[in-house]
Structure formats: C-alpha cells, structure tokens
Amino acid sequence: MDYLSEVMWTEDEIAFRKEVRAFCEKEIAPIADEIDKGPYPRELLRKIGKAGYMGVLHDASAGGSEKGVSYEIIIAEEISAVNGGLDMGRMSSTTLYGMPVSKFGTEEQKKKYLLPIVNGEKIGCIGITEPDVGSDTAAMKTRAEKDGDEWVINGEKRFITNGSQADYMCCFAITDPSVSSKKGMSAFIVDTKSEGFSVVQDHDLLGMKSARVSWLKMEDVRVPSGMLLGELGQGFTILMDELDSERTAIAAEAIGYGRTAFEVSVRYANEREQFGRPIRAFEGISFKVADMAMKLEAARALTLTAARMLDRGMKATKQASIAKLYATDAAVQITNDAIQILGGVGYTTDYPVERFMRDARLMTIGGGTAEIMRFIIQREIYKEFFPRK
C-alpha cells in the first residue's frame, strides 16, 4: 500500500503503523459503530494508553516514548480511519492538553498531571474557545486573579473536546488585563473536580458522536499557584506553540477519514454493476477515484513534511497550516465523493462513509478554521519575503 511506502517512512515507522493498525482492528473496529453513539468508553482510552499510543510525544519522565510527531500522525491516521471521535478525544487529551504540560510544565507537574494522561488513566482537555471568543483568541475574557497563594478563575469555555469527561483542563486565562493578551495571558492546569467548575451542557454535534464536546463554566475556581504552567504571562506563547503540533495531527486525522472512505469507494465501484458493467467503468466514477487518490497522496506528503520539521525542532507554522488546510479540505471532498460513488447506500448508515463525511466536516473549523489557515499561510509568506530588519 502507498502509505507504507519506503520512500516516505522509515522501517521502524512502517512496523509501528502495522502494529497500530492491528490494535485498531482488534480493539476498535468491532465497536466503531457502537461507540459512535457516544461517549467513547474510558476503558478504551486506557487500552490506548497502555499500548503506548498516548505517549509518543512525551518524554520518559512522563511515561512517554519520545518517538515524535511522525509517530503521532501514524496513530492519528490509523485510529481516525476507524473512528473519528475517539481519536479526537485521544488527541485532545495527549496532544492538546499534554503538549503544553510536557513542554512548559515542571517535573513535578509532569509527574502528577501528565503521567496519568499518558497511561490513559486520566483524561485531559484544552480550554481556549469561549462563547464570545473563537478565532480571535487574543480577545479572551476568562480571568485569573491572584489571591494569596491561589489563583481565582472566572469564565466560560465552549466547544471543549472531552470537557465533561476530563479530569484536567489546560486553561488559558487573562492574568493582566492592563497589557495586550500576548503578554497578559497565562496557562493553568485546572482540576475539573474543583469547586465552582461546572458543565453547562454537552453540545449536540453533526459528527464526532463518540466524543463529548462541552460548554464549561468556572465560577471562583481556586487553583493553587503551583498549577500555573510556564511563566506568568507566557500563555499566548504556550498557546501558539501547541497549535503547530495540533494542526499537523488534525491533518493526519483527516487523512484517516479520507482513506477509509476512499477504500470503501474503490471496492464498491469494482463490485456494483449498472448498465451491465461495474460502475468503475464509467469515467464519472473512475475519475473521482483518481482525484481522491491524488488528494490523499498530497495530504500525506504535506503532513509528513510538517511532522518531520517539528521533529527536527524547526518552526513549522506555515507547513502545519498548509497541511491542515489541504488535508481537511481534501477529507471533506473525498468523503463527499465517496457518498456519490456509493449512491443511495452511501447515504445510509449501512456503510461508514456518511459517518466519516460528518466527522470530516468539523476539521475545516476546529483547531483554526480554513480561513484562519489561509491568513496564517499568507502572513508567513510575507514574513519570508520581507523579513523584519
């Protein structure tokens, strides 16, 4: 198969993909439709953690294997190719919550608040978005005020993946409203069992049905000062740092949905006969298959490039945004074409393509919309063309 190509992946990565795929076939595929009624069982996340698929980005002190982003995108693609919402939950815990703790947390914080995430015992989430704050994260309203040895947090966070299931949230809040958010925002680890922390509601979503995505409220939530992540006022830097790895992994998830929809379509077009021949004989169908394959290959190459850059410690803001924009758009088109190739049965739940189409639709919104990706890409291009002296 092309994704096992020796041109793109190392021998170890190819072996790792085979291993993850075998795990998915055994542990997830048999219940993929069932768990889509949501939420995914906690036990499944524990199994994923035990298998080591929550820790490839984290160091040994947090129970991780430090394999890197190229391994994370293999896991993201393989699990997403079976169930989208489950990987969104896994990734929110280990990458979106985990990376800020991993990169900016103290050794003590990592031991206490990351290790149980990596082994799948606890669930994490990231709290950026608010009812009035989406793409413009710098306009954040959630406030944290110092009171003795504690921080008191007030605010609401909306659309938080894992929200009502999570044990810990990496919460971004304004700590100094007198300066710009770039200097006045900080990040905290918040225990969701804290007094004043509540779930307003779980959102009823178009897709990603196996995940829980919630609206959360914090009223005078007291957080010990030792749960500040990084330096005071470093929140915006932490937020921006997290996004490049998140966007690369989201691109890989999108490839997963597209891949399954593509494989189902190729087989169906070969078997289904109309007008006395398999429908693959009609250009209207076979050209779609060619376009789907091309988009998948391109998405994979872009995503792996971003992953390799991140693994080398390079700044990958433009590449991660390009990969995310292209792969998520491709997944929407591929899953949509898959339904067209299957005709009426594509619109039923007898085949999983309608589920993948609904899951894929989120990906041009979450983690930064397609419009914001275009904004970032052009901004980075102008920075390259006209560097500040």
Ligand X SMILES: Cc1cc2nc3c(=O)[nH]c(=O)nc-3n(C[C@H](O)[C@H](O)[C@H](O)COP(=O)(O)OP(=O)(O)OC[C@H]3O[C@@H](n4cnc5c(N)ncnc54)[C@H](O)[C@@H]3O)c2cc1C
Contact positions with ligand X (CB under 6 A) in 242-281: none
Neighbouring-strand partners of residue 224? 150
In the block, which residue shows the tokens 């087989």?
Answer: 267
Kind of pairing between the strands at 124-127 and 273-274: unpaired
Closer residue to ligand X, CB minimum distance, 13 or 36: 36
Helix (H) or strand (E) holding 334: helix 317-342
Size of residue set near ligand X by CB under 6 A = 23
Stretch that binds ligand X, among 46-54, 125-133, 187-195, 232-240 (CB under 6 A): 125-133
**Phi first, then psi: what are they for 144, rounded to 5°?**
-125, 125
217 contributes a contact to ligand X by CB under 6 A = no
**Phi first, then psi: what are they for 293, rounded to 5°?**
-60, -45
Q: Tell me the HSE value of 363 on the side-chain side, using a 13 A CA sphere.
A: 36
From the list 205, 266, 281, 345, which residue makes contact with ligand X (rule: CB under 6 A)?
205
* Contact letters for ligand X, residues 161-190 (x by CB under 6 A): x-----------------------------
CA–CA gap between residue 63 and residue 78 (Å, rounded): 22
In angstroms, what is the minimal distance from the CB of 19 to ligand X? 28
Stretch that binds ligand X, among 18-26, 30-38, 251-259, 366-374 (CB under 6 A): 366-374
Closest residue to ligand X using C-beta atoms: 134
CA 301, 307, 311, 315: dihedral to nearest 10 degrees? Answer: 100
Stretch that binds ligand X, among 126-134, 143-151, 193-201, 225-233 (CB under 6 A): 126-134
From the list 371, 381, 382, 383, which residue makes contact with ligand X (rule: CB under 6 A)?
371
Answer yes or no: are the C-beta atoms of 292 and 335 closer than 8 Å. Answer: no
Burial of 47 (0-12, 13-18, 19+ CB in 10 A): middle
Closer residue to ligand X, CB minimum distance, 258 or 368: 368
Contacts of 338 (CB under 8 A, 6+ apart): 261, 262, 264, 265, 292, 346, 353, 356, 357
362 contributes a contact to ligand X by CB under 6 A = yes
* Contact letters for ligand X, residues 72-111 (x by CB under 6 A): --------------------x-------------------
From the list 151, 159, 326, 351, which residue makes contact with ligand X (rule: CB under 6 A)?
159
Cα dihedral 47, 320, 138, 112 sign? positive
Stretch that binds ligand X, among 63-71, 103-111, 153-161, 219-227 (CB under 6 A): 153-161
From the list 44, 213, 243, 310, which residue makes contact with ligand X (rule: CB under 6 A)?
213
CA–CA gap between residue 268 and residue 156 (Å, rounded): 46
Closer residue to ligand X, CB minimum distance, 200 or 281: 200
> Which residues of this protein are in contact with ligand X, per CB under 6 A?
92, 125-129, 134-135, 159-161, 205, 208, 213, 362, 365-369, 371-372, 375
